[in-house]
Amino acid sequence: MTNKKRGAMEMSMGTIVTIVLSISLLVVGIFFISQIGKVSKGVIDLTEEQLRDQINKLFSEESKLAVYPGTRFVEIKQETTDGAGFGIRNLLTGQAGTKTFSYEVVVADSDADLNTKCGINKQIALGWIVTGKSETSIPIASGDYSVQKVLFEIPVGSPLCTIRYRVNVKADTSAYATDFFDVKIKAK
């Protein structure tokens, strides 16, 4: 009879240890998942300093332009504001001091492609940009960089599709660098 009680007690201890270990693993898993969610913030959630840090990580030694997020892919739900960030680095050689830069964001897809895949034209797609469509007279010291944001507000009723935008950068009046990012419109 004491052997049965002993076996029951060992079984109970084993069960308790298993439950405690399972709960511990669950808590650790939830913690890691929440951290992953915090890392993948949209550009709207980042402060200027955080965006500057993220873009600084994306610059390679000789890149003049870096786009955040590094995947160049932004998902924006209807009735929300979000966008992309980018950095312009002054890598002009033989020039000391500060140089003036400008940029413009354009729709890279042709009107025909936009009409086919989204049922809209470039003017409508450009109309969703609420901040950062273009800027002139951006002073950047030699070797330094400037960070910019392009913010979109997608209205309800907009087509659920993906549009490619291009950032064209000029140093004074000369073409300097270009890069792209894609915006995928999702339902609200």
Q: What is the residue extent of each domain of the chain?
A: 1-39, 43-186
pLDDT average, residue stretch 138-148? 93
Length of the chain: 188
3-class DSSP state for residue 188?
coil
- Is pLDDT larger for residue 42 or for residue 38? 42
- Is pLDDT larger for residue 126 or for residue 70? 126
Say if residue 7's pLDDT is above 80: no
Tokens for 173, please give them: 């009046």
Q: Tell me, what's the pLDDT at 5?
A: 59
pLDDT average, residue stretch 96-115? 92
Tokens for 9, please give them: 């007690």
Instruction: Provide the CA 77 distance to its chain's centre, in angstroms.
Output: 14
Say if residue 51's pLDDT is above 80: no
Mean pLDDT of the chain: 85
Say if residue 151's pLDDT is above 80: yes
pLDDT confidence bin for 36, thresholds 50/70/90: low
- Asked if 169 and 176 count as a contact pair (C-beta separation under 8 A), the reply is yes
Alpha-carbon distances of 26 from 15, 17, 19, 31, 133, rounded to whole Å: 16, 14, 11, 9, 45
Checking 133-136 for CB contacts under 8 A at 24+ apart, the result is 133/104, 133/105, 134/102, 134/103, 134/104, 134/105, 135/102, 135/103, 136/102
Q: Cα–Cα distance between 45 and 62 in angstroms, integer? A: 28
- Is CATH 2.60.40.10 what the domain over 43-186 is classified as, yes or no? yes
User: Is the pTM here over 0.75, yes or no?
Assistant: no
pLDDT confidence bin for 44, thresholds 50/70/90: low
Q: Tell me, what's the pLDDT at 158?
A: 93
Q: Cα–Cα distance between 13 and 6 in angstroms, integer? A: 11
3-class DSSP state for residue 22?
helix
